Amino acid sequence: EIVLTQSPATLSLSPGETATLSCRASQSVGIFLAWYQQKPGRAPRLLIYDASKRATGIPARFSGSGSGTDFTLTISSLEPEDFAVYYCQQRSNWPPVTFGGGTKVEIK
């Protein structure tokens, strides 16, 4: 099973700042890495897939990069609605599909 480790666990930032979230895989997942956003009491939302492709309707301030074992989600100029928990997910070697433990982006 591929383990995804996200860092940091919590990121405290102000609106307008840039968030940089990391996801590291225990073995290579190629580019088969996705990112989801989850707000309290809500279902997750697909943001990025195949490391860098934005899902339908996702604003351009969300961008993804990386390949192999190291991936980054960047949120440029944080909007108030961006404060949430972000999960990475791999689909390279399954079952099982695995998720990272999440990074909470909170308002500083």
CA 9 to chain centre: 12
CA 24 to chain centre: 11
How far, in Å, CA of 89 to CA of 33, rounded?
Answer: 6
Q: How far is the CB of 96 from other proteins (least distance, A)?
A: 4
User: What ranges in the chain are assigned the alpha helix state H?
Assistant: none
Residues 6+ positions from 56 with CB-CB distance below 8 Å: none
Would you tell me which residues interact with other proteins (CB under 8 A)? 1, 34, 36, 38, 42-46, 49, 55-56, 87, 89, 91, 94-102
Q: How far is the CB of 15 from other proteins (least distance, A)?
A: 25
Q: Is 17 or 24 the residue whose CB approaches other proteins more closely?
A: 24
Q: Is 68 or 101 the residue whose CB approaches other proteins more closely?
A: 101
What is the phi/psi pair of residue 15, to 5°?
Answer: -55, 140
Q: Is 75 or 88 the residue whose CB approaches other proteins more closely?
A: 88
Q: How far is the CB of 97 from other proteins (least distance, A)?
A: 4
